[in-house]
Amino acid sequence: MNFKDYYKILNVSEDADKKAIKKAYLALAKKYHPDVNKSTDAEEKFKEVREAYDVLKDPAKKEEYDEIRKYGGANQEFTPPPNWGSSKSHHQDFTGHHDYSDFFDSIFRRSKEDFQQPGSDFEIELPIFLEALVKNDKQKLSFEIPKILPNGQRELEKKNIEITIPKGTLDGDKIRLKGQGGYGVNSPKRGDLYVTIKLVPHPLFDVANKIDLEITVPIAPWETVLGSQIEIPTLTSKIKLNIKPKSDIKNKIRVPGKGLPSKNSVGDLFINLKVVTPLQTSEEEDKLWKKLSDISNFNPRNEWNGGN
């Protein structure tokens, strides 16, 4: 049985007042009245419009419908929580009609003994750092699960659990925790909890293609001219990188197997070298820079002038 959205049926907003609801009802009732509209579905639409109006025009029933609307959710298979069918307000105005929908009857005429509702699945996001993806990392989760009490009221129950992030898990993956989701109504069967992995931006690494990592490494001007050996951090250790003299730093350096592990493969680490000049120098350093400037013919903008 699908949920009926009475607001959509009358084409009114959730905060529409009684005047707007009545105006919408009268227009639609006139449009679909069987004496006026001879289409095959006119009578059914007329009943649907009247049913929606009968609920939304009454403040008490509208309030109860709004609450159960949150519980059921539009366009979902639906069974109401208990005690909606046992309060007096559900019976006093509807005894004269016998052609309401099953959805209507399930809310306003059924008692809590008439049904069972298994718990619904529940989904939360877990923000984690990259380092958690390269090992079987344990993470603590704190969240709230909606619970239907025996009197039909809703409450949020706080949960604190610890889960393991399996090595090879990637950003956007879902971890299923069976039986840790929403509580059932008159049913011991709980739904499942789905934990969606959400990567937190890392201070050093960017992720590309889900499993590759990129890092920008600052180097001094003399390191790229003379060559050097520098240490590069990875997620698990440090590696040594040899920079050849007069290297073209525009090209990325690929280090195989130093990216993120997945279930089927391991990504690579791509290193971008960035020359950084010193902003604070001593008098002696300034003299050396001046001497280099005097003896060097290097012009980084030479290609702007056609090589001249």
Question: Quick one: 101 and 128 in the same domain?
Answer: no
Q: Is the pLDDT of residue 120 over 70?
A: yes
Q: Which of 199, 225, 242 is the last residue of a domain?
A: 199
Residue 265 lies in a domain: yes
Residue 70: the pLDDT is 64
Residue 289 lies in a domain: no
pLDDT single digits (tens) 78-113: 555 555 444 434 433 444 444 677 677 666 655 445
- Maximum separation of any 2 CA atoms in the chain, in Å: 104
Average pLDDT over all residues of the chain: 82
Residue 52 lies in domain: 6-83+92-109
β-strand pairing of 205-208 with 193-199: unpaired
Residue 232: the pLDDT is 93
Residue 288 lies in a domain: no
3-state secondary structure of 232: strand
Question: Quick one: 209 and 251 in the same domain?
Answer: yes
pTM of the model: 0.57
The total of structural domains in the chain comes to 3
Distance of alpha carbon 123 from alpha carbon 249, whole angstroms: 45
**Domain with 138 in it: what CATH number?**
2.60.260.20
pLDDT single digits (tens) 122-163: 888 999 999 999 888 899 988 888 776 666 667 788 889 899
Residue 116: the pLDDT is 63
